[in-house]
Amino acid sequence: MAPQPSDLAFVPFVSVDHMMGLIHHIGIETLLCDLADAIEADFKRWDLFDKTPRVASHSDVGVIELMPTSDGELYGFKYVNGHPKNTKEGLQTVTAFGLLADVESGYPKLLSEMTLLTALRTAATSAMAARHLAPKGAKSMAMIGNGAQAEFQCLAFKAICGIDEVRLFDVDPAATAKCAANLAGQGLKVVSCSSGEESMEGAQIITTCTADKQYATILTDNMVGSGVHINAIGGDCPGKTELHRDILMRSKIFVEYPPQTRIEGEIQQLEPDHPVTELWQVITGQTVGRRNDKEITLFDSVGFAIEDFSALRYVLSAIQGTPFSTQLDMLADPDDPRDLFGMLQRSSQ
Amino acid sequence: MAPQPSDLAFVPFVSVDHMMGLIHHIGIETLLCDLADAIEADFKRWDLFDKTPRVASHSDVGVIELMPTSDGELYGFKYVNGHPKNTKEGLQTVTAFGLLADVESGYPKLLSEMTLLTALRTAATSAMAARHLAPKGAKSMAMIGNGAQAEFQCLAFKAICGIDEVRLFDVDPAATAKCAANLAGQGLKVVSCSSGEESMEGAQIITTCTADKQYATILTDNMVGSGVHINAIGGDCPGKTELHRDILMRSKIFVEYPPQTRIEGEIQQLEPDHPVTELWQVITGQTVGRRNDKEITLFDSVGFAIEDFSALRYVLSAIQGTPFSTQLDMLADPDDPRDLFGMLQRSSQ
């Protein structure tokens, strides 16, 4: 009989189905709060991390990226694609999965779906940033772009920042209707708007999350009043922006990792030395965030590897003692580690 | 009832157990020949590929690497670690897995174990290179370093280059004994040697495949006679080499991808502008390989992403119609691609 793989050969795997089970088990708002805390904790130890801009492979229709990082004990990476044209073909714009490994041995410790997890960590990161940057007492958020990410953003801002009203707008009214229907009964006042201007009426926070791969102008300068916090999610690759340059020039700009954001974010429109503030320095108190009630703060978010790392670390901890993972026979583990060939030979017996 | 995932949500997965089944199903020598041909075919269309040095995360005890590439239709990457100290703890020095994805949609098409597959593709690449570079009629190979890779190298050189004798040496006689035992009955004359010098007696090909992460000198200059082909596998990361500098100075050096080899290969010992020949140019006939019977040819192999890509592409094709894969629920696939949140909500019903 062929020998059975040992425990070392197995890697815990969280499927999409298991991730959905885990989210319901914990509760989505609790999970978003936990994720925001996990990400904030890792931003506080920013210097520890191995940081590199993501490794992108661009084609005419999209991009495939690998986003690795390490804190010296754990190594993590995410595979993620971005294909805006996919929705027309019944596919997701973004799919993702990720891995955590032990730096000491190089052995994987977790493989997980990350399409859902990316939506959650993106929303948690946005709301965590807003907790530091948005005007005090913000209660109303404009949500521009009502695609796959929109509901997660709305719930994260409710759970983490205390938002009680969301004002939805999308160029496609069907997307707004979908988002409004999904948010019914979630404890938010949901206002469907027929223009970007209308969505911003009375909103202290503006979230833009659209998916076209082009230089778009979702917000123009005259639309944005003083004192708001802008959470710009959609401008996240070269050639893809959402905000008019004039808004950027009026805003205090906060970013995750400047070498990546200058290539991918809204600030790709600006000079390479345009001043920006790193969010982690606001979180640690090394620098100030919002300076007054009149200032426009802008979180130019492109998504950074440390956020995925935090999310995977959280999932690895959260699945313990739950049924929300299976074991994948992904690693060859011969009894004698130098005897890979012998393991292969014996498997045929 | 919660909706079931659609076909699009699933990614074929080849486990270690399935990979072993596939190897036995095809036959290891046939598979090595097929792999060599697949790799050679991709080296012939070298210019098509997106090439980048691997993305390495180094620690005191090892390295974790991501090796991405794309031919414009398929995208592939490999995760691989290298931890020489692992064997002392009963773990593999190298474990790996890899992925192929569709460039057009960004959706993964195959997830596969690659610990075994890396051993196979490394051996197939070595023998494919030797098919172009080794002296004509070579029948005997010295195999120095008798660890996990050794048997695969020996069988690849038998199947692809017509080697009929292998001369084994390792500083640890137990490794040589293991290798000799595994090779019994495989149609090779196996000679166990007690020194590096003895292993090289009469050998036209010298393969070095040792694992220490340090500047080692497995071969010194006076050990190497004229006319041999050296297949140097073990020097594959910064600070890790196997050959004395003087041998390099006497050899015509062939490499996979110069920007990576200059950092990781034997030639890290040389000036950054030391002349090297790219193997793909020999294969396409753009340049000459071995010039005469006296020349020492050296394939300074570090392993390149295209070889893994070729191997994954081969596996994706080879598993069709076999039982050697399962379906992983790795991708979120809502009916309406913009309705990720709705899919999550419905899963709890």
pLDDT at B279 (0 to 100): 98
CB contact under 8 A, A20 and B348: yes
B93: closest CA among B263, B256, B213, B239? B213
Q: Is B128 contained in some domain?
A: no
Q: Is B219 contained in some domain?
A: yes
CATH assignment of the domain containing A292: 3.40.50.720
d(CA A217, CA A204): 20
Q: Is A128 contained in some domain?
A: no
- In chain A, the residue whose alpha carbon lies closest to the alpha carbon of B18 is A329
Which 8-state DSSP code applies to residue B348? T
Q: What's the rounded mean pLDDT across residues A49-63?
A: 88
Domain shared by A238 and A341, yes or no: no
Here the tokens at position A9 are 């050969």
- Residue B181: other Cβ atoms inside 10 A: 14
Domain shared by A80 and A145, yes or no: no
Choose among B52, B115, B332: nearest Cβ to A113. B332
Residue A244 φ then ψ, to 5°: -70, 145
Here the tokens at position A266 are 């809204």
Residues of chain B in contact with residue A107, where contact means CB-CB under 8 angstroms, are 81, 91, 95
Choose among A57, A90, A330: nearest Cβ to B113. A330
- In chain B, the residue whose alpha carbon lies closest to the alpha carbon of A179 is B339
B175: closest CA among B209, B214, B141, B220? B209
SS3 A54: coil
Q: Is B329 contained in some domain?
A: yes
Residues of chain B in contact with residue A89, where contact means CB-CB under 8 angstroms, are 105
Here the tokens at position B128 are 């494919």
Domain shared by A213 and A72, yes or no: no
A312: closest CA among A118, A49, A130? A118
Q: Is A49 contained in some domain?
A: yes
Percent of chain A with pLDDT over 90: 76
Q: What's the rounded mean pLDDT across residues B221-233?
A: 88
Domain shared by B255 and B165, yes or no: yes
Residue with tokens 């790193």: A278
CB contact under 8 A, B182 and A337: no
Q: Which of B344, B347, B348 to mutate to test the interface with A (most CBs of A within 10 A)?
A: B344
Q: Is B45 contained in some domain?
A: yes
d(CA A101, CA A330): 13
B8-50 pLDDT, tens digit per residue, is 779 999 999 999 999 999 999 999 999 999 999 999 999 999 9
Domain shared by B162 and B247, yes or no: yes
B113-129 pLDDT, tens digit per residue, is 999 999 999 999 999 99
A198 touches A170 (CB < 8 A): no
B131 touches B161 (CB < 8 A): yes
Q: What's the rounded mean pLDDT across residues A187-199?
A: 96
Residues of chain A in contact with residue B342, where contact means CB-CB under 8 angstroms, are 178, 181-182
CATH assignment of the domain containing B11: 3.30.1780.10
A141 touches A157 (CB < 8 A): yes
Query: Which helix (DSSP H) or strand (DSSP E) does residue B231 occupy?
Result: strand B229-232
- HSE-up of residue B117 (Cα within 13 Å, Cβ side): 35
Task: Let me know the angle formed at the C-alpha of B207 by B205 and B208, rounded to the nearest 5 degrees.
Answer: 150
Q: Is B126 contained in some domain?
A: no
ipTM: 0.91
A21 touches A337 (CB < 8 A): no
Question: Which residues, other chains included, contact B32 with Cβ-Cβ below 8 Å and sequence gap of 6+?
Answer: B120, B123, B124, B127, B152, B155, B156, B159, B160
pLDDT over 70 at A337, yes or no: yes
Query: Which helix (DSSP H) or strand (DSSP E) does residue A258 occupy?
Result: helix A258-264
pLDDT over 70 at B5, yes or no: no
CB contact under 8 A, A86 and B106: yes
B176-186 pLDDT, tens digit per residue, is 999 999 999 99
B42: closest CA among B301, B303, B307? B307
CB contact under 8 A, B331 and A99: no
SS3 B177: helix
B295-337 pLDDT, tens digit per residue, is 999 999 999 999 999 999 999 999 999 999 999 999 988 888 8
Q: Which of B34, B170, B236, B300 is catalytic?
A: B236
pLDDT over 70 at A286, yes or no: yes
C-alpha distances in angstroms, B20 versus A5, A346, B48, B129, B155?
12, 10, 32, 25, 16
Percent of chain B with pLDDT over 90: 77
Domain shared by B143 and B81, yes or no: no
C-alpha distances in angstroms, B148 versus A198, A334, B37, B92?
66, 10, 23, 9
Domain shared by A140 and A246, yes or no: yes
Mean pLDDT value across chain B:
92
- Greatest Cα pair distance, chain B, in angstroms, is 75
- Residue B236 among the catalytic residues: yes
Here the tokens at position B203 are 């050998």
- Residue B324: other Cβ atoms inside 10 A: 22
- Burial B149-177, CB ≥16 within 10 A → b, else e: bbbbbbbbbbbbbebebbbbbbeeeebbe
Here the tokens at position A234 are 């959609």
pLDDT over 60 at A2, yes or no: no
Most confident of A53-62, A161-170, B239-248: A161-170
Instruction: Please count the helices (runs of H) and the strands (runs of E) in chain A.
Output: 11, 17
Residues of chain A in contact with residue B348, where contact means CB-CB under 8 angstroms, are 20, 24
What is the domain range of residue B264? 133-303
CB contact under 8 A, B23 and A344: yes
pLDDT over 50 at A133, yes or no: yes
Q: How far is A115 from chain B (nearest CA, A)?
A: 6
- Burial A100-139, CB ≥16 within 10 A → b, else e: bbbbbbbbbbbbbbbbbbbbbbbbbbbbbbbbbbbbeebe
Residues of chain B in contact with residue A333, where contact means CB-CB under 8 angstroms, are 16, 91-92
B263-293 pLDDT, tens digit per residue, is 888 899 999 999 999 999 999 999 999 999 9
Choose among A86, A95, A340: nearest Cβ to B116. A340
A246-267 pLDDT, tens digit per residue, is 999 999 999 999 988 998 888 9
Here the tokens at position B68 are 């991405």
Q: What's the rounded mean pLDDT across residues A83-112?
A: 92
SS3 B247: helix
pLDDT at B242 (0 to 100): 83
Choose among A21, A57, A116: nearest Cβ to B70. A57
Q: Is A327 contained in some domain?
A: yes
Number of domains in chain B: 2
Domain shared by A264 and A329, yes or no: no
Q: How far is A81 from chain B (nearest CA, A)?
A: 5
A114 touches A96 (CB < 8 A): yes
Domain shared by B264 and B314, yes or no: no
Domain shared by B208 and B219, yes or no: yes
d(CA B302, CA A212): 40
More confident position, A4 or A267: A267
Domain shared by A267 and A139, yes or no: yes
CB contact under 8 A, B104 and A61: yes
Residue with tokens 């045929």: A348
Q: Where are the alpha helices (DSSP H) in chain B?
A: 16-26, 28-44, 115-133, 150-161, 173-183, 196-200, 245-250, 258-264, 279-283, 305-318, 340-346
B326: closest CA among A65, A15, A348, A182? A15
A203-241 pLDDT, tens digit per residue, is 999 999 986 656 667 777 777 888 999 999 976 667 778
Q: What is the 3-state secondary structure (H, E, C) of B9-58?
A: HEEEEECHHHHHHHHHHHCHHHHHHHHHHHHHHHHHCHHHCECCCCEEEE
Residues of chain A in contact with residue B21, where contact means CB-CB under 8 angstroms, are 347
Question: Which residues, other chains included, contact A219 with Cβ-Cβ below 8 Å and sequence gap of 6+?
Answer: A144, A196, A206, A208, A230, A242, A243, A244, A247
Domain shared by B282 and B262, yes or no: yes
Q: What's the rounded mean pLDDT across residues A70-92?
A: 92
pLDDT over 80 at B3, yes or no: no
Q: Where are the beta strands (DSSP E) in chain A?
A: 10-14, 55-58, 63-70, 74-82, 96-102, 108-113, 140-144, 165-169, 189-192, 205-208, 215-219, 229-232, 241-243, 251-255, 277-278, 296-300, 326-329
